[in-house]
Chain A
């Protein structure tokens, strides 16, 4: 976003061009597209979550997986009355929280080094960071199994040098799920944090140093506080994406680590109970909305004294 473009330049991008082409016309395609295929599906999820599930139908027989035209809160009542679903929600939020904390900490370390690196090193490190995003998530998970599995590289290496007597359990547990989620979310967080560090006025750090502050003091009292907005965005992003975790808990976790997203798939594609799947999906949307609301609150609270 560029809130402070010079006024004269702004008028120019437009030119005569702009006057003939009202903004609305340019925005029409995106509005139609998102209206039909984004808002539409969200409303469909909401609607289906409020319908009865007929139970016991299958693909191919033409029977919908919910009863059209019916209205009920039964799916939500079931969700909020069942310790199973409430436990899933708590687990999902916990996983999101752990992902957010770990990812943001690791990302900050890497972002700081990228920020300080020579240009060539900077480009190389940024490439390494974005590479997983250009790779299929299943490829990554498969690689995880090969590296961290019971007979994977790490265990074989540790066994070979005699550091351990039996393979360490590094997959099918919380450790693996968190580690995988970190890899999936980290690229975005590093980019956000590098941008935040770049935006800091170098003169402020220089000023602190010239008054005799040590490197550590400059970091704690100048750099870190000034980069906090980036840390906030990074934490929010990783929390939201951690909440949506689907593949990592499924492939690298155990049934005890299945999240709300996995439950949506199980209800929809396995039990063919669309109504319940939709209700679980709506709870996810609700949790994310609440998170964003809290984030915006803290933003306002942080800006208020200034």
Chain B
């Protein structure tokens, strides 16, 4: 019966882990609806007062607009770059592709503070500093590898004879890409775009280094508040981030099927 005992222990550990993953999220969502002045669970009814405060404050709405703008820019930069790299790798000769892939993935393994301070120096030198593009380029350092991984996996699954058929009919490379390859991997295109969007909308450390008063994203505005004055408006701001993320996720899973999302992820 030791086996059964071990199994029960395992389930208990996993239940705790799942709780650890979910409870902080759910709690901060719940607190955003509190009617009370201080950070507390809404025990005496629900209120939207902290959301009114959020959307009534130009500092928060500017930050929300910045977050969305930077995330869209990150998508626009990282998708073509990652896609082209994946097209190069997901092809014929296996020689050297391990090394190239490793190099493309490398930025994921460099701490955000290192990328932040380095990007700050470079972006200041070339005059990018202070623009939304500066943050988007930094976020693309992590988005490009993700787009690359997703698209590489997708392209390897494309039946090569379809591309050949198009080629023998006289289609050029751009037309094959647009009319054959991309439609075949449409769900993965969506997943790749989604990853780029989400990694940017949620990235905080690089944004902290690169943001200027006019380019502060939501996390950068939340940061000093969470550290010094904990008010429920922070919970409301957090919830706005969660809601935007969930909306993007839902749109993507609707269009591509949740299954494709998970397959691309693992």
B44 within 8 A of A: no
Q: A12-B160, A13-B158, A247-B204 are in contact. Are A128 and B241 (CB under 8 A)?
A: no
Asked whether B222 is an interface residue with its Cβ less than 8 Å from the other chain, the reply is: yes
Q: A18-B92, A285-B110 are in contact. Are A44 and B144 (CB under 8 A)?
A: no
Q: Which of B153-193 contact A (CB under 8 A)?
A: 155-156, 158, 160-161, 163-164, 167-168, 173, 176
Contact of B22 among A1, A29, A128 (CB under 8 A): A128
Return B178 CB to nearest CB of chain A, in Å. 13
A41 and B249: CB pair below 8 A?
A: no
Contacts of A250 in B (CB 8 A): 227
**When the two chains form the complex, which single residue of A18, A126, A216, A278 contacts B265, counting CB atoms closer than 8 Å?**
A126
User: CB within 8 A of A264: which of B77, B113, B168, B230?
Assistant: B113
Q: Are B204 and A15 in contact (CB under 8 A)?
A: no
Q: What is the bound-complex CA distance between A113 and B14, given in angstroms? A: 8
Is there a chain A Cβ closer than 8 Å to B68's Cβ? no
A142 to B85, CA, bound (A): 38
A139/B85 in contact, CB under 8 A = no
Interface size class of B (residues with CB under 8 A): 35 or more
Q: How far, in angstroms, from A63 to B99 measured CA to CA in the complex? A: 41
* B259 / chain A contacts, CB cutoff of 8 Å: 123
Could you tell me the dominant secondary structure of chain B's interface residues? helix
What 17 new A-B contacts, CB under 8 Å, besides A127-B262, A153-B41, A281-B113? A10-B94, A13-B90, A21-B173, A28-B84, A34-B104, A38-B110, A41-B115, A42-B110, A123-B258, A142-B222, A142-B235, A143-B28, A191-B266, A216-B6, A246-B205, A264-B113, A284-B111
Q: A44-B121, A135-B25 are in contact. Are A17 and B100 (CB under 8 A)?
A: no
27 inter-chain pairs at a CB distance below 8 angstroms, sorted by A residue, are A1-B101, A5-B94, A11-B160, A12-B163, A13-B92, A27-B88, A30-B104, A34-B106, A34-B144, A37-B137, A40-B118, A112-B10, A127-B258, A130-B265, A132-B21, A136-B201, A138-B222, A139-B28, A143-B27, A146-B27, A179-B20, A183-B21, A244-B111, A247-B204, A264-B114, A284-B113, A292-B109
Pick from A44, A112, A140: contact of B118, CB under 8 Å: A44
B45 interfacial contact with A, CB 8 Å: no
Expressed in whole angstroms, the minimum distance between the Cβ of A249 and any Cβ of chain B is: 12
Whether A150 is near chain B, meaning CB under 8 Å from some CB there, is no
Q: Are A23 and B91 in contact (CB under 8 A)?
A: yes
A93 contacts the other chain (CB 8 A): no
Interface residues of A in 20-40 (CB under 8 A from B): 20-21, 23, 26-30, 33-34, 36-38, 40
B255 at the interface (CB under 8 A from A): no
Pairwise interchain contact B94-A20, C-beta atoms closer than 8 A: no
Cross-interface CB contact of A191 among B209, B230, B265, cutoff 8 Å: B265
Query: A77 at interface (Cβ–Cβ under 8 A)?
Result: no
A9 and B13 contact, CB distance less than 8 A: no
A214 touches B3 (CB 8 A): yes
Q: Could you tell me the distance in whole angstroms from the C-beta of B105 to the nearest C-beta in chain A?
A: 11
Cβ contact within 8 Å between B113 and A186: no
**In the complex, what residue of chain B is closest to A21 when comparing beta carbons?**
B173
Residues of A within 8 A of B (CB): 1-3, 5, 9-18, 20-21, 23, 26-30, 33-34, 36-38, 40-45, 48, 106, 109-110, 112-113, 123, 125-132, 134-147, 153, 179, 182-183, 186, 191, 194-195, 214-216, 240, 243-244, 246-247, 250-251, 261, 264-265, 268-269, 274, 277-278, 281, 284-285, 288, 292
Nearest CB on A from B19, distance (A):
9
Instruction: Give chain B residues whose Cβ lies under 8 Å from the Cβ of A11.
Output: 92, 160
Query: With the chains together, A292 CA to B105 CA distance in Å?
Result: 14
Distance in angstroms from B7 CB to nearest chain A CB is 9
B119 contacts across to A, CB distance below 8 A: 37, 41
Secondary structure dominating the interface of A: helix
Check B238–A138 contact: CB distance below 8 A: yes
Tell me if B69 is interfacial: C-beta within 8 Å of chain A: no
Q: How many Å from the CB of B65 to the closest CB on chain A?
A: 16
Which B positions have Cβ atoms within 8 angstroms of A?
Answer: 2-3, 6, 10-11, 13-14, 17-18, 20-28, 31, 39, 41, 77, 80-82, 84-85, 87-88, 90-94, 97-98, 100-101, 103-104, 106-107, 109-122, 125, 137-138, 140-141, 144, 148, 155-156, 158, 160-161, 163-164, 167-168, 173, 176, 198, 201-202, 204-205, 208-209, 218-219, 222-223, 226-227, 230, 234-235, 238, 241-242, 245, 249, 258-259, 262, 265-266
Q: State A33–B266 Cα separation when bound (angstroms).
A: 26
Contacts A135-B202, A143-B23 given; indicate if A12 touches B112 (C-beta within 8 A).
Answer: no
Specify which chain A residues have a CB less than 8 angstroms from the CB of B14 in the assembled complex.
Answer: 109-110, 113
Contacts of B116 in A (CB 8 A): 264
Measured CA separation A264–B114 after assembly (Å):
8
Residues in A whose Cβ lies below 8 Å from that of B101: 1
